[in-house]
Chain A
Amino acid sequence: MSSFIDRLTNRNRKSANQAKDRLQLVLIHDRTNLSSVVLETMKDEIIAVITRHIDIEPDMVKIEINKDGRQQRLIADIPILGAKRRR
């Protein structure tokens, strides 16, 4: 149902807004040379490294690229469950 509404609203969206949204993603990938596949791989590797030291919730991890003028930033949001007990 929701996907039906999504599709409907998407069709009604102004084409200029669609162009802008699509460009936003394309430009980030062009500028960083990072595809969404590479980003996904990186995310898995980051999760693997971090879980060696602390408990996190892998499904809640968010890795994204933010734009600041012509500069891009890699932002990782990793919720921590609690440090592993150590001596």
Chain B
Amino acid sequence: MAGKVLTITSGKGGVGKTTITANLGVALASHNQKVVCIDGDIGLRNLDVVLGLENRIVYDIVDVVEGRCKLRQAMIRDKRIEGLFLIPAAQTRDKTAVSPSDMIRVCDELRPDFDWIIVDSPAGIERGFRNAIAPADHVLVVTNPEVSAVRDADRIIGIVEAEEKGPARLIINRIDPVMVERGDMISTEDIVELLAIELIGIIPEDSEVIISTNRGMPIALNGKSKAGQALQNIARRVTGETVPFLELSHQGGFIRQLGKIFSSGGSKNE
């Protein structure tokens, strides 16, 4: 195996990087890929709680880098999903405890044993972000349909390009089709035009995300939720599959869905 490093980043905080990292991990693992997720947010770790693995942490990435344990000892195996592992961040240290070359070394050691190494970047453009993009083969930039998130995404895309880690691909998270239709939310098309990079996913606003995070059960495990489906689709696109984007128009309510089911001969699309 020659694993690929996939870094999830955004510039702005709170746009959904950690949720997306956890769910891409789950989705890729459920497609028989061997996956390890690395929490790059040292001092503010959260990937463990989103994945529901917080009670099983013994060692973290700083312990690995500082030689207190073997890499294997810091890897937590997810018992629910075959082939999914987590390397948690340290909670009592800061970003300077790890350097970009440390990250490259750790990822190179993981490559032979995994298909995907997913790095959850912290917000900002400082050390933690630099650590997260240093080993990257692919970079996914997450944004929300808001001016501040789009502006920060543009900065990040520029830096990723300058560091020759590009071209980054874009995930637009928390889009509300009703607000877009009303003209009160920037549309997917406008964001793609402004940022001028390839789109790899659109995730609709979905209250199920908070519920699944409450339970520590990533939403990609829930086949019925729109956000879960969108995340599953992104995972497939990451592996090179061509998957059409979800129909998110709010008129896609009950009647229209019924019409679709009948017109496609009852086959369930997406």
Contact = CB atoms under 8 A, between A and B. Distances in A.
A8 B69 CA distance: 66
A26 interface: yes
Nearest to A14: B183
B205 interface: no
B125 interface: no
Contact of A30 (B151, B183, B196): B151
Interface in B14-37: none
Contacts of B157: 70
A48 interface: no
B66 interface: no
Contacts of B182: 14
A19 interface: yes
A31 B154 contact: yes
A82 to B, nearest CB: 41
Contacts of A2: none
Contacts of B151: 23, 26-27, 30
A30 B155 contact: yes
Interface stretch (B54-62, B129-137, B186-194): B186-194
Nearest to B189: A20
Given A31-B154, A31-B158, A70-B161, 10 more contacts: A14-B183, A16-B183, A16-B184, A16-B186, A16-B187, A23-B151, A24-B194, A27-B154, A27-B194, A70-B197
Interface of B: 146-147, 150-151, 154-155, 157-158, 161, 180, 182-187, 190, 194, 196-197
